[in-house]
Structure 1
Amino acid sequence: MASPGAVLLSEWTKIKTVRSTVVTLLIAFVVTVGLGAVVCLVANSQWNTMSDKDKLTFDPVSTAFSGILLGQLALIVFAVLVVGNEYSSGMIRVTLAAVPQRGTLLLAKAAVVVALALPVSLVTSFVTFFLGQALLGDHGTSLGDPHVLRAVLGLALYMTFIALLSLGVGFMLRKPVLSLGLLMPFFFLISPILSAVPKVKSVAHYFPDSAGSQMVSVVGSSDIPYGPVTAFFVCLAWALVCLVGGWSLLKRRDA
């Protein structure tokens, strides 16, 4: 029976030696920073053409974080491949033979995902913020202004929650294509569409991306009936539910 420390070390070794780990995390950083910079440049250049209402409600922080819409997709791929690669290659049989304690295996993978995703997310959020505010010029804000630091840290936490959520889905569906085929349409199509449908948007407000938008915003959306603290727990709940679902299926079925 493998010890938790040995399992954790094994998972860390496997993940850090796979090229897709570095590539996907780098893409998450580049896309989030790059797209946010472009949006800030456009916003600054078009400031004089904006209406007074838009100027009053302008949120320089969420503007800088516009790139998260695409950046989170790279994190989804990263987390799905952490477990999906083993199922695709058949190595999961070797892993489960060495680590029959399936809960320990899932927790070890989750810990390594957090150990990689959280630092990358923190660097991404701070670099995105400072670059975005520099490009916004006089229309930007500073880290010491009310709620700004909370929003910057909120982006890092949201990105980490998305990675954990995706890991749980990866364990549930096992195949990367199936996992990505569910997660990407959900974040790109289903959630945005349902958020615009009057009869179901009250439910869509509790989807992880809607909660995430509250976490990374200083102003916040008046349509969403809760603030950033509740949004944190909504995203945490989604991540935990997916991980528990992954653990439940993992312990009941063969590789």
Structure 2
Amino acid sequence: MRISSGRRITPILGAELDKFRTLPLIRLTLTVTFILNIALTAAFTSVSLQETTGTQNTLNTGLASMGYLQAGFIILGILATCSEYTGGQIRTTLTAMPWRGVQISAKMLALAMITIPAAFIMAASGVLYAFIMLGDTALMTEIGTVIQTLAGATGYLTLTALLSAAVGAILRRTTPAVVVLLGYYFIVSPLTRDWLPGYLPDKAGYYMYTPPSVDAGNILTPMEGTGVAMLWTLSLMAAAILLYRRRDA
């Protein structure tokens, strides 16, 4: 008897969510990332208060830590797909869930369901902290702009986690995946800042939460940045699913 994909994915999605809920490294990564984000936001806010006079942009200050915050979501995505290869748990998973394409798709969906609220809370908490600490010097921003910016930051962090999960599924080992992705985001990308500006995943993602500005010389609009970042993520996810279905565990 053939079972439809819709009937398969519901219990598999529940199982993947249970894995993430009970995996200590997932909880530890989210907790440490949240704490470090608040600490970095506090540092950037303090520097902003000491070095700048007049009104200050709350969004810029509250999201100044995004370049570092993304590291936590990179690690989160890698752990989501690589953790089961440690000790060979992946064989048990594939024995219980032989539909590989459905299983890894459910894992990605479960990761997104966890990442979206976590990313929003972290981005919003940074902006809220900056708004409180800047006090009277905070530049008043329209609520629509705040919502758009937070939505862009949440989307970027979520896409970063999914892209990292895809790379983890391709490499199947935590350490190589961490080295490759952190090496790209924190070493290669800054060194190639002027090459293909706006068309690599992190550079396109920057414009997802940066409102267009003539003075800033923005290359992409938030929607264009979202499209480019999504294209990178979906392409790597498709490659990960294809390899996952064809390779041995």
Normalising by structure 1, we get a TM-score of 0.88
Letter of the 2:38 partner, please give it. V
Against the structure 1 CA distance between its residues 59 and 185, is the aligned structure 2 distance closer, same or farther, given a 3 Å change threshold? farther
Identity %: 26
Mapped pair 1:27 → 2:26: no
Q: Which residue of the other structure, out of 81, 84, 108, is the alignment partner of 1:83? A: 81
Mapped pair 1:254 → 2:242: no
Letter of the 2:83 partner, please give it. N
Aligned partners of 2:198 and 2:220 also within 8 Å: no
- Listed as ranges, the matches of 1:67-146 within 5 Å are 67-142=65-140, 144-145=142-143
Against the structure 1 CA distance between its residues 121 and 247, is the aligned structure 2 distance closer, same or farther, given a 3 Å change threshold? same
Against the structure 1 CA distance between its residues 127 and 143, is the aligned structure 2 distance closer, same or farther, given a 3 Å change threshold? farther
User: Shift in Å at residue 143 of structure 1?
Assistant: 5.4
Mapped pair 1:239 → 2:220: no
Moved more, 84-93 or 210-219: 210-219
CA distance in 2, matches of 1:70, 1:26: 15
CA distance in 2, matches of 1:131, 1:78: 24
Aligned residue in 1 for 2:220 = 226
User: Shift in Å at residue 146 of structure 1?
Assistant: 5.5
User: Shift in Å at residue 225 of structure 1?
Assistant: 1.7
User: Shift in Å at residue 21 of structure 1?
Assistant: 0.7
Normalising by structure 2, we get a TM-score of 0.90
Letter of the 1:211 partner, please give it. A
Q: Which residue of the other structure, out of 184, 207, 210, is the alignment partner of 2:200? A: 207
Q: Please list the CA deviations of residues 207-251 of structure 1 after superposition, one character each: whole Å capped at 9, or x if unmatched.
A: 222122212223557444211111111121122111111101111
Give unpaired runs (5+ residues) of structure 1.
none
Letter of the 2:188 partner, please give it. I
Aligned partners of 2:34 and 2:122 also within 8 Å: yes
Q: Please list the CA deviations of residues 156-210 of structure 1 after superposition, one character each: whole Å capped at 9, or x if unmatched.
A: 11111111111111111100111111100111011111014xxxx2x14212221
Question: Secondary structure of 1:209's partner?
Answer: helix
CA distance in 2, matches of 1:206, 1:114: 23
CA distance in 2, matches of 1:103, 1:143: 44
CA distance in 2, matches of 1:103, 1:141: 48
User: Shift in Å at residue 34 of structure 1?
Assistant: 2.2
User: Shift in Å at residue 68 of structure 1?
Assistant: 1.6
CA distance in 2, matches of 1:242, 1:188: 20
CA distance in 2, matches of 1:124, 1:109: 22
Letter of the 2:42 partner, please give it. A
CA distance in 2, matches of 1:145, 1:46: 27
Q: Please list the CA deviations of residues 126-175 of structure 1 after superposition, one character each: whole Å capped at 9, or x if unmatched.
A: 11111112222334234535622211121111111111111111111100
Moved more, 206-215 or 159-168: 206-215
Aligned residue in 2 for 1:152 = 150
In the comparison of the two structures, how many residue pairs are matched?
243
Aligned partners of 2:211 and 2:221 also within 8 Å: no
